[in-house]
Structure 1
């Protein structure tokens, strides 16, 4: 028996929609197949004793648990690929009080001074990919000389804006964009981007790194925090293998920072020359660093970020006006002694000739020791345990003296 099929509007819709769905499914393959999902667990205890006379509180001690989930998609197929990333952060108070607050682990009520029980952030980032370029819009965590996010506490800081990363030219990585908001490491809210107590409408930046050869790379970046400061950066990184299994690495950095427009943060005038030379052989690495500030102000950098300087250490960064600072550092990897995963670091930084409103010859120093172990096998493989010990002292008009210990446990779960 023959059947007659009528071409109804519904069947026409199916006829034309089916190929479209197949095309969309194929286009979405990369979006799903190249996706990643992780959960980072960070347990952080920080104990800080203030040794200077007249300190507002004698001690700051807090303990918290952090959770950071990252979902990163791939890109859809086609000349312009589309992707979406998401990041959720949650910090929980395990122990704190109003008289032990202020470690940077937990936010606190500005009126009662009581640390909050929890705080969180959700960030979304849209991505567009074409050729060898990627445009990201939304929540960002840049790691560039003129803007570097902070990841030294329970949760990490984030910025809001857009950034274009391009590698269209062989050897050259270009980054340029605009940031308008920031979320501090111990905050659930987004604030206007700024420096110190001054805020701005936007921070614009552009620059890149060019690899001249596998051993030598040069960088240039320009950043402008509207009506606060303008900043230029020049950098050079060189690695040189030497006879006898030695390796020499040189990292030189120079910043020129000036005021911009009405200078909402006051006069900004700073030249920052810093660098580090490291000599490695087997499990040993010896490093020496210097840092020279010149000009009438301290080195400026964005709220919510870290300064890109070699003397950025556990507690301090030694970037006050006119400060001269040097550093000696030693690293050792215990894998050479049959204990893979165990590492040790110690360093000493000395700063002199600091100029502030209260002194023309301030001085400060910091000594750090860092012992870390990453479990290599078994059910807890990947679990990291880190102990950091800090001693900081100052004088000649500078009045901060601190003894500090940090215990950090970290573990990352990869879902796919």
Structure 2
């Protein structure tokens, strides 16, 4: 088994030891214990990726693995400043793979041997402090913010190391700010320097927030800087318009402006990304149309270990190459309307054109996804989820990638207390 690596554990242990000294009195610990909870998430993931292009380095990637994620979250001690601690342990186990079928993102593999690891793991600790309506977290983080989104699309989720302050002191306004210094990728046991592509940085600093003007309308702004690599600004708007009983229109508009920073370790970065999603809900049906328009000479940048916060991020592709403009149509249906609660269906088609690379001037990419999911509603398997994802991806006009893919995912979450 790989060793569990916790580079910051000694520092956190010392911090937590200091924090727990004043908590000897039982009353102060009451909320710390009573508000705590723990759960274990099980995910069985099979992924088969068939490379259809003639020049592919391998014919297919085909792996099957079992993941376990345990999360323990404490409450806060009583007092003006409350203290708490969270812990997360992740373990991935190989069920089937080989060196000629590696590379699905489920399992790490040896740099020289190319053999997939039998297992891999991570332990994360987070100290937290609460004062009034503000919470500071230090340690392992999984942020979901426009400028940094952790990845949870394979066996285990990625994590970051650093600090995050979340404040809701003013009604309707949520502020987030912090610094990240390390990342743990979704298929890795190691903590690496934060970075973008092959370039690494000392830190990623970010700040911003959202303002709920009313229950239907929210505005947001964020700024992020990956030191000596890129700086990025985000402006967003989300609006929900109830049209009639069972009928609503949701608009989600996002704009990013990304430029190089400092020493430009990843080269010149020049990208503007304007994207949006419009969803019409009609009872159990949802009809969505998305657009994503990019300008500038480079691809849309986002952190290693994360995902881009764009509407045309789909199952296989991100549609964030330089110059790539894309659109999407999507349909969702909830079978509860037909008396089958727990069963849902999604299909979408995404088309991108005008991609620019060092050798291509007008590349094209398209992807078709189908997703069928069911959550068992009763009996001994209650709350077990089953999901089948089917993907077809093709590119052209100089881009030469072609993939057929299937994913089968079985999940279950068990509350420990």
**Gap runs ≥5 in structure 1:** 1-19
Q: In the alignment, which residue of structure 2 is the partner of 1:49? A: 50
**Gap runs ≥5 in structure 2:** 1-20
Q: By how many angstroms is 1:318 displaced?
A: 0.4
- Aligned mates of 1:151, 1:350 — CA distance in 2: 24
TM-score (norm 2): 0.94
Q: In the alignment, which residue of structure 1 is the partner of 2:225? A: 224
- Summarize deviations over 1:181-213 as a string: whole Å, max 9, x none: 000000000000000000000000000000000
Q: In the alignment, which residue of structure 2 is the partner of 1:104? A: 105
For residue 28 of structure 1, give the secondary structure of its aligned residue in structure 2.
helix
Q: In the alignment, which residue of structure 2 is the partner of 1:295? A: 296
Q: In the alignment, which residue of structure 2 is the partner of 1:203? A: 204
Q: By how many angstroms is 1:22 displaced?
A: 9.9
Q: In the alignment, which residue of structure 2 is the partner of 1:7? A: none
Q: In the alignment, which residue of structure 1 is the partner of 2:37? A: 36
Q: In the alignment, which residue of structure 1 is the partner of 2:59? A: 58
Alignment of 1:6-405 (within 5 A): 24-405=25-406
- Aligned mates of 2:388, 2:323 — CA distance in 1: 33
> Taking structure 1 as reference, are residues 232 and 21 closer, same or farther at Cα in structure 2, changes over 3 Å only?
closer
Q: Which has the larger radius of gyration?
A: 1
> Taking structure 1 as reference, are residues 21 and 329 closer, same or farther at Cα in structure 2, changes over 3 Å only?
closer
- Aligned mates of 1:54, 1:216 — CA distance in 2: 49
- Aligned mates of 2:211, 2:167 — CA distance in 1: 12
Q: By how many angstroms is 1:341 displaced?
A: 0.1
Aligned residue pairs total: 397
Q: By how many angstroms is 1:64 displaced?
A: 0.1
Q: By how many angstroms is 1:245 displaced?
A: 2.6
Q: By how many angstroms is 1:44 displaced?
A: 0.1
- Aligned mates of 2:80, 2:381 — CA distance in 1: 43
TM-score (norm 1): 0.94
Q: By how many angstroms is 1:262 displaced?
A: 1.2
Q: By how many angstroms is 1:379 displaced?
A: 1.4
- Aligned mates of 2:43, 2:23 — CA distance in 1: 42
For residue 27 of structure 2, give the secondary structure of its aligned residue in structure 1.
helix
Runs of 4+ residues over 3 Å off in structure 1: 20-23
What's the C-alpha RMSD, in Å, of the aligned pairs?
1.1
Q: By how many angstroms is 1:243 displaced?
A: 2.5
- Summarize deviations over 1:330-387 as a string: whole Å, max 9, x none: 0000001110000000000000000111111000000000000000111111100000
> Taking structure 1 as reference, are residues 22 and 262 closer, same or farther at Cα in structure 2, changes over 3 Å only?
closer
- Aligned mates of 1:263, 1:395 — CA distance in 2: 31
